[in-house]
Amino acid sequence: MGEQTIALNRRARHEYTIDETFEAGLVLTGTEIKSVRARKVNLADAYARVERGEAWLIGAHIAPFEQGNRANHEPKRTRKLLLRRSEIDELLGRAKQKGQTIVPLRLYISERGRAKVELALARGKQLHDKRRDIAERDARRDVARELADARRR
């Protein structure tokens, strides 16, 4: 079946320059994984932080499970990320050293049925960087449009 993408953080690629990506497991409760499988996830305001030697996902919204009872979860609770010690140390060191942030790019279900998050070490873009990216995207779109018109003739 392969891995199944549940949620994308499209804003992250617009607002940040991605330097390196990591894969991390996610500690979820029973009702949370059911909501994830129902695709009720939003990563728009999420970010990751390393505190006391552990990595945490903060601000990710996983909607309460509709058939959940009083044991339902808090939608915006802080969730633990599962990374190797060497990866945590590298993330912490590079995030502090270069002024980078750790942002989630996507949440997916792996082939083995585990919830995973693709994290990125990223630098914030300035306004002129965003404008350059928009101009490049428009230029690529124009070239593709011209090629498609040429093929039709």
pTM: 0.71
Tell me the sheet residues that pair with 41.
Answer: 62
- Return d(Cα 63, Cα 66) in angstroms, integer: 9
Across 108-122, average pLDDT: 87
Where do the domains of the chain lie, and which CATH numbers do they carry?
4-124 (2.40.280.10)
- Over residues 52-75, the pLDDT tens digits come to 888 898 888 888 877 766 777 777
DSSP 47-74: EEEEETTEEEEES-EEPPPTT--TTPPP
CB 80 within 8 A of CB 55: yes
Residue 12 banded pLDDT, cuts 50, 70, 90 = confident
Spatial CB neighbours of 34, under 8 Å, sequence gap ≥ 6:
65, 67, 68
Residue 141 banded pLDDT, cuts 50, 70, 90 = very high
CB 19 within 8 A of CB 124: no
